[in-house]
Amino acid sequence: MNDTRQQHNVACHCGAVQFKARLTDGFNTIRRCSCSYCRMRGAIAVSARLQDIEFVAGEGNLTLYQFNTGTAKHYFCKTCGIYTHHKRRSDPDQFGINVACIEGISPFDFPEVVVTDGILHPSDSDGRSRIAGMLRYSPTE
Ligand SMILES: [Zn+2]
């Protein structure tokens, strides 16, 4: 079994937390979310299966934040405070990974990012994921 998907290096700002990740569908799953937490955090997330993350350093340097139902687990670095990944509420077999922590990737690489409706969460309604809108970025040059 050869997994040909690219293995990305992921790290927080200070570098204490480092892991490798393969994504479920490249950068096609990028999104932001409109829930009370994500709207403050402001990060773009991309999907990876739980087994496709491999820690290199600093797993013990992570802090966990949970709220509401406590299903989603939001991890961030104790030292620099940067969110690296979270265990998803809508799909607990997956992590969302902060694209800005992926080596060589910037959140400003993506001209359009889907914003999913995290206020009417699929787990609180009919299980369908709704799109709240689209976030656009255009560089000045
Ligand atoms: Zn850090």
Go through the domains of the chain in sequence order and give each one's CATH number: 8-136 (2.170.150.70)
The alpha carbon of 46 and the centre of ligand 1 are apart by a number of angstroms equal to: 19
pLDDT of residue 105: 97
| Distance, C-alpha 61 to centroid of its chain | 18
User: 11 CA distance to ligand 1 centroid (A)?
Assistant: 8
Tell how far the Cα of 124 is from the centroid of ligand 1, in angstroms: 33
Distance 98 CA to ligand 1 centre (A): 13
pLDDT at 71: 84
Q: Give the chain's largest Cα–Cα span.
A: 45
> Which letter, b or e, does each residue of 22-56 get, where b requires 16 or more Cβ atoms within 10 Å of its Cβ?
bbbeeeebbbbbbbebbeebebbbbbbeeebbeee
Confidence (pLDDT) at 7: 96
Q: Are the C-beta atoms of 14 and 63 separated by less than 8 Å?
A: no
pLDDT in tens, 7-21: 999 999 999 999 999
Confidence band of 1 (pLDDT split at 50, 70, 90): low
